[in-house]
Chains A and B, each alone.
Chain A
Amino acid sequence: MAQELKVELEGVSKDAIGGVIEQEELEPAGAPPARVGFWVFIAGEVIILLSLIASAIYFRLTYPHWHETSTFTNVIISTINTFILLTGSLTAVLAHHFAFADAWKKARRFLLLTMLCGLAFVGMKAYEYSLEIHHGFYPNTDPFWMFYYTITGIHGLHVFAGACILFGVWLYVRKTKSKYAVENAALYWHFVDLVWLYIFPMFYLT
């Protein structure tokens, strides 16, 4: 017992020592830091995009030609893109499911599939932009295009970042088998997907 009490910390007063304790008794209960941290981060992201969307609504109220201009957007490509994102969400859920079921091979395969969905989305989006620019719609054409390019641009960057994160996690979990890495990557993907579900009606279906 006496040996157990040996304090390897120099410069502590004796009164400060209370006794001996098992490591297991210390485990802090509650959520893992990675999960809490990531939700906090997502909260911040949500507010950034909400502010942009709120600003767009604010402008839309005072801009009479919003509706007419919005008919020039490409509904076909964006609908395909919506399905791509939703498919990505499905594969992300499956990746998460298999990761927590310790089926890492399947989990990693679905991670890769989700990443491919992201890249497909970005590719389609780039093609869509090129069509629009070809038709002479620039960011400074009018308030609609101004917000269209800004918000879909930021969203596109998020999708691309999501694809990069998925790829990173795909590499990372090969050795570490970190469930929370998969969970957070999937969470991020769902967030990006959800944002698109607001953007899609806002710019394409009005």
Chain B
Amino acid sequence: MSAAETSWVKQYLFSTDHKVIGKQYLLTGLFMALIGGILAVAFRTNLASPGVLSDSAYLRLVTYHGSIMFFWVAMPVLLGGFGNLLIPLMIGARDMAFPTLNMLSYWTFVVSAIVLILSFFVPGGGFSGGWTIYPPLSAMPDAFLGEHLGTILFLLAVALEFASMLMGGVNFIATIITMRTKGLSFFRLPLMIWMQLIASVLFLLSVTPLIAGAFMLMMDIFAGTHFFTVTAEHTGNPILFQHLFWFFGHPEVYVILFPALGIIAEIFPANTRRPFYSYKTLVWTAIIAGVLSFLVWAHHQFVAGINPYSAIWFSVFTVAISVPFSISLVVMGLSLVNGSIRFTAPMVWAVGAYAMFIIGGLTGLPLGAFTADVYFHDTYFVVAHFHYTVFTIAVLSAIAGLYYWFPKWFGRQLNETFGKWHAILTLIFYNGFAFPGFFLGLAGHPRRYASLGFFEYLHEYQWVHVMMTVSTYLLFATQLVFAVYFIYAIFKGKKVEDPNPWKATTLEWLAPSPPPHLNWGNTHPIVEHDPYEYAVNGELKAKGIDFLPQGKLYVLKKSDAEKQEQEG
């Protein structure tokens, strides 16, 4: 191996640089999104014209679509990608706290993705028991699904993914707590960093019980224990797994939701040219919602054999969560007031995501209110609701962030007009496939049905499925065009001249685009102001500048030893 090759491997493949790892996460996540999208297109085809796929193939695609979009797209893009790329730059550090652990985290993630894809092709097929992995279906795959190897590999892939994200989470928390630059107190952190911190803590606290649950599930499969399975002699408890799963599952949604809100909270001030309306309110509502998210898990199990009295409390807490979220959405909305809104491409995306969050949040109420949920549970209403939240998180917000930080990361620009059309088309097709779900749910259409043909009361709704499928095709085609353009722009896009094209205040815009290895060269950023000082008065206003960067770069004085070294 020649010297040049070694350096290429070190620089781009097994790099410990947070920016390279962030980009690796981002691109791997986008690649997995492509796979998840193809799966969606395939099973939606089956819904529009039943019989294209076999029954178990349909369920398999649904299962993999859900798992991929959650664990292999939303998390790596929003945490692995955005987190790694932004945390050190925004807090004025040169890298993450544990760069080697960071690299290990990414490569564990790659292995998990490979195992997941492998599990799809092993004899017997991949796991088809839903992304929620409910036992006994998953605990006795031989008896009920006939997918022994596929199930085991699927579980292994999920376990590896969790391990990878846990390494990342430990790294994020340690970095944000200990590596902030001078002057950057906690309440001067950009909102994106706050959201990443809260998300990492939530993930760490919530995923660990599921790891315990997954271990018991593995014991059920391998050692023949009966934690979750029921036979004549042994009485396990299938509900226990649901408790462990949803104790993870609900905070998990917020793990990806908060970074998405963080992206919107960064884009809004930069494009309205006024400070965020109430920075502290957003932080505190996020913390309160995060705490509450640990008290609501059984709202996924209202009709699944839990104690009816405890259901009351779970419903009260669930509905109570709407209060901090309504406050944070109102605060975000108020940040637009008296602004001077520039409808740049990232802003159009962010506003779209914000609007869709309103729908996603409100439609959570019928599911959290338990008597109404008796009817809505496991119908298409649920599907529509979580697509309005998760699709908004993983696609709308993430792409908003991509348009916003693309110049910073790649030193090139994405076309503004392209971005706006991309946003508008995506919003139209997205609503085309997701909104009819509410009506299907109201009609009592259960989820995970390969076809509605067996039920007379659903027959009249076949055309709705056709419409949703067509929208899905168009949505997928739109994203495909974007994917091609995105790759093109990374290599051939127009170079940025100004390192701060949006005239934004946070620290990452002080660095060159793209930032060099170790980010700051012989300078170091020092924070002097709050993060969103737009619409400033006084001296700067007279000069025609309406924003005050959060900090300044200070040139490091060389120590005597270094000076001698240079001279010698």
A and B: bona fide binding partners: yes
Number of B interface residues in the complex (CB < 8 A): 60
Chain A residue contacts of B511, Cβ below 8 A: 9, 12
Chain A residue contacts of B464, Cβ below 8 A: none
Interface string of B189-230 (1 = CB under 8 A from A): 000000000000000110111011101100100011111000
Interface contact B171-A12, CB-CB below 8 Å: no
From residue A42, how far is it (CB to closest CB) to chain B in Å? 10
From residue A172, how far is it (CB to closest CB) to chain B in Å? 13
From residue B567, how far is it (CB to closest CB) to chain A in Å? 12
Interface contact B237-A43, CB-CB below 8 Å: no
* Docked pose: A34 CA to B234 CA in angstroms: 46
Interface string of B428-449 (1 = CB under 8 A from A): 0000000000000000000000
Chain A residue contacts of B526, Cβ below 8 A: 18, 21, 26
* Docked pose: A156 CA to B77 CA in angstroms: 36
Check: B174 CB closer than 8 A to any chain A CB: yes
Interface contact B208-A48, CB-CB below 8 Å: yes
Chain A residue contacts of B98, Cβ below 8 A: 33-34, 37
Check: B240 CB closer than 8 A to any chain A CB: yes
Interface contact A150-B173, CB-CB below 8 Å: no
Stretch at the interface among B387-395, B416-424, B517-525: B517-525
Stretch at the interface among A51-59, A71-79, A108-116, A120-128: A51-59
Interface contact B204-A43, CB-CB below 8 Å: yes
* Docked pose: A45 CA to B163 CA in angstroms: 12
Interface contact B223-A149, CB-CB below 8 Å: yes
Q: Report which of B216, B513, B558 forms a contact with A11, defined as CB distance below 8 A.
A: B513
* Docked pose: A38 CA to B498 CA in angstroms: 40
From residue A8, how far is it (CB to closest CB) to chain B in Å? 4
Interface contact A140-B226, CB-CB below 8 Å: yes
Closest to A22 in B: B557
From residue B158, how far is it (CB to closest CB) to chain A in Å? 15
* Docked pose: A120 CA to B276 CA in angstroms: 59
Check: A175 CB closer than 8 A to any chain B CB: no
Closest to A55 in B: B240
Q: Report which of A17, A40, A58 forms a contact with B174, defined as CB distance below 8 A.
A: A40
Closest to B167 in A: A41
Check: A168 CB closer than 8 A to any chain B CB: no
Interface residues of B in 169-201 (CB under 8 A from A): 169-171, 173-175, 177-182
Interface contact A21-B212, CB-CB below 8 Å: no
Interface residues of A in 24-38 (CB under 8 A from B): 25-26, 28, 30-34, 36-37
Closest to B207 in A: A44
From residue B500, how far is it (CB to closest CB) to chain A in Å? 7
Interface string of B234-254 (1 = CB under 8 A from A): 100100100010000000000
* Docked pose: A165 CA to B184 CA in angstroms: 35
Interface contact B173-A7, CB-CB below 8 Å: no
Interface contact B182-A37, CB-CB below 8 Å: no
Closest to A9 in B: B521
Closest to A53 in B: B212
Q: Report which of A17, A142, A146, A150 forms a contact with B552, defined as CB distance below 8 A.
A: A17
Q: A9-B523, A20-B554, A43-B204 are in contact. Are A139 and B225 (CB under 8 A)?
A: yes
Interface contact B219-A146, CB-CB below 8 Å: yes
* Docked pose: A20 CA to B554 CA in angstroms: 5
Chain A residue contacts of B181, Cβ below 8 A: 26, 28
Chain B residue contacts of A7, Cβ below 8 A: 521-523, 553, 555
* Docked pose: A34 CA to B555 CA in angstroms: 28
Check: A176 CB closer than 8 A to any chain B CB: no
Closest to A30 in B: B178
Interface contact B552-A18, CB-CB below 8 Å: yes
Chain B residue contacts of A25, Cβ below 8 A: 182
Interface contact B178-A21, CB-CB below 8 Å: no
Q: Report which of B171, B209, B224, B499 forms a contact with A51, defined as CB distance below 8 A.
A: B209
From residue B36, how far is it (CB to closest CB) to chain A in Å? 28
Check: B556 CB closer than 8 A to any chain A CB: yes
Chain A residue contacts of B240, Cβ below 8 A: 55, 58
Interface contact A31-B520, CB-CB below 8 Å: no
Chain A residue contacts of B559, Cβ below 8 A: 23
Interface contact B555-A19, CB-CB below 8 Å: yes
Chain B residue contacts of A142, Cβ below 8 A: 234
Check: A80 CB closer than 8 A to any chain B CB: no
Chain B residue contacts of A140, Cβ below 8 A: 223-226, 234
Interface contact A33-B174, CB-CB below 8 Å: yes
Check: A4 CB closer than 8 A to any chain B CB: yes
Interface contact A139-B205, CB-CB below 8 Å: no
Closest to A149 in B: B223
Check: A10 CB closer than 8 A to any chain B CB: yes
Chain B residue contacts of A34, Cβ below 8 A: 97-98, 174
Interface contact A150-B215, CB-CB below 8 Å: yes
Chain A residue contacts of B512, Cβ below 8 A: 9-12
Interface contact B499-A13, CB-CB below 8 Å: yes
Closest to B212 in A: A51
* Docked pose: A30 CA to B185 CA in angstroms: 12
Check: B510 CB closer than 8 A to any chain A CB: yes
Interface contact B208-A47, CB-CB below 8 Å: yes
Check: B123 CB closer than 8 A to any chain A CB: no
Chain B residue contacts of A138, Cβ below 8 A: 223-224
Closest to B101 in A: A37
Closest to A52 in B: B212
* Docked pose: A32 CA to B97 CA in angstroms: 9
* Docked pose: A63 CA to B212 CA in angstroms: 20
Interface contact B237-A59, CB-CB below 8 Å: yes
Q: A13-B499, A21-B526 are in contact. Are A37 and B216 (CB under 8 A)?
A: no
Interface contact A19-B212, CB-CB below 8 Å: no
* Docked pose: A140 CA to B211 CA in angstroms: 20
Check: B81 CB closer than 8 A to any chain A CB: no
Q: Report which of B205, B212, B553 forms a contact with A12, defined as CB distance below 8 A.
A: B553
Check: A135 CB closer than 8 A to any chain B CB: no
* Docked pose: A44 CA to B225 CA in angstroms: 25
23 A-B pairs whose Cβ atoms sit less than 8 Å apart in the complex: A9-B516, A9-B521, A12-B553, A13-B498, A17-B555, A19-B552, A19-B555, A21-B554, A28-B180, A31-B177, A37-B174, A40-B173, A43-B204, A44-B208, A51-B244, A55-B244, A58-B237, A58-B240, A138-B223, A139-B224, A139-B225, A149-B223, A150-B216
Give A residues with C-beta under 8 Å from B.
4-13, 16-23, 25-26, 28, 30-34, 36-37, 40-41, 43-45, 47-49, 51-52, 55, 58-59, 138-140, 142-143, 146, 149-150, 154
4 nearest A-B residue pairs (beta carbon): A18-B552, A9-B521, A11-B512, A37-B174
Give B residues with C-beta under 8 Å from A.
97-98, 166, 169-171, 173-175, 177-182, 204-205, 207-209, 211-213, 215-216, 219, 223-227, 234, 237, 240, 244, 498-500, 510-513, 516, 520-524, 526, 528, 549, 551-559
Using A5-B555, A28-B181, A33-B97 as known contacts, list a sample of 19 further A-B pairs with CB atoms less than 8 Å apart, ordered by residue number in A. Answer: A9-B512, A10-B512, A20-B556, A21-B524, A26-B556, A28-B178, A28-B179, A33-B174, A36-B173, A37-B171, A40-B173, A43-B205, A44-B208, A51-B213, A52-B215, A55-B227, A55-B240, A138-B224, A139-B225
